[in-house]
Amino acid sequence: MISYLTAPFQYDFMQRALIIAVVVGGLCSTLGTFVILRKLSFIGDGVAHASFAGIVIAYLRGINFELGAAVVAVMTALGIGYINRLGGISLDTAIGVLFTGVFALGIFLISQAHSSTVDLQDFLFGNILGVSPLDLTIDLSVAALVLLTVALVFRPLVFASFDPIVARAAGVPVVVLDYVLLVLLALTIVVSLESIGIVLVAALLVTPAAAAAQVTRRFVPMLVTAVALGVGSCILGLFLSYYAAAASGATIVLVATVAFFVLFVAGRRFRRALASR
């Protein structure tokens, strides 16, 4: 049994994959709790797809893919917030317009690169086993920056998420915090792109937090439960994908989805039992 658990980690790429799995699982679940609280589930998918344009631009300019993705993802997230707040347009409409437009820009640019030999499949579907030492260093640095920022603004951010009107009346800079959260979401998505992929990152951002919401409505327990589920799903999914020779990102998301339905059923039964007393 012990050898079954330790065998994959004789390889350096599996050691890096385990580290990034823990980081991505914890980071996505932390920000995902705020996403669920604010009903922003669509934004993860939108910003993830928009980052594709940044990856293409980075390729065409010969710069780091994650840097290009980060710049475009942050600009898109800020643009969504700006249009929603100052343009009188609903948030889901702003997300839909911007992410499809920016994603289309990426497709247009790659179609013009007639000599393109770049394989973008890893960014679309994720390849956690292909994370290089440099990628790991960059991802850890960005993750540390995101988590430090969350820790610094945690209380006012929670206050503004629960009741922005009262928070604004109490002097909390709600508008600034909204933009900070959008930037943190964009950076979280960029960290997860290579390991989970554009197509699946929104699921990891939402599913663990949504699963946690089935068993608790208090924010801190929900956050802790979501992080545990996110990290656990990433680690278990990594193991399963290794032994099943399956796509790692897809396996991780499937494990998280199963956890959601288990807690969904358990939560309904628990609430039904309380109501019958």
Is the pLDDT at 116 greater than 60, yes or no? no
Per-residue pLDDT tens over the stretch 124-160: 777 788 888 888 888 899 999 999 999 999 999 999 8
Q: Tell me the one-letter amino acid at 246.
A: A
Residue numbers of the domain that contains 38? 23-197
Q: Are 257 and 242 in contact (CB under 8 A)?
A: no
Range 225-240 average pLDDT = 93
Asked whether residue 260 is assigned to any structural domain, the reply reads no
Residue 233 pLDDT: 93
Asked whether residue 214 is assigned to any structural domain, the reply reads no
CATH number of 52's domain: 1.10.3470.10
Asked whether residue 271 is assigned to any structural domain, the reply reads no
Residue 157 pLDDT: 93
Number of independent structural domains in the chain: 1
Asked whether residue 221 is assigned to any structural domain, the reply reads no
Asked whether residue 267 is assigned to any structural domain, the reply reads no
Asked whether residue 238 is assigned to any structural domain, the reply reads no
DSSP classification of residue 8: G
Residue 108 class from Cβ within 10 Å (0-12 exposed, 13-18 middle, 19+ buried)? exposed
Global pTM reads 0.87
List, in sequence order, the alpha helices (H) in the chain. Answer: 2-6, 12-38, 41-61, 65-86, 91-112, 121-125, 133-152, 154-162, 164-169, 174-196, 198-212, 219-244, 248-275
Asked whether residue 232 is assigned to any structural domain, the reply reads no
Show the tokens assigned to 249. Answer: 């990102």
Is the pLDDT at 208 greater than 70, yes or no? yes
Round to whole Å and give the CA distance between 176 and 187: 17
Range 100-110 average pLDDT = 87
pLDDT interval class at 34 (50, 70, 90): very high
Is the pLDDT at 271 greater than 80, yes or no? no
- Among residues 134, 39, 57, 38, which one has the least CA distance to residue 102? 57
Asked whether residue 244 is assigned to any structural domain, the reply reads no
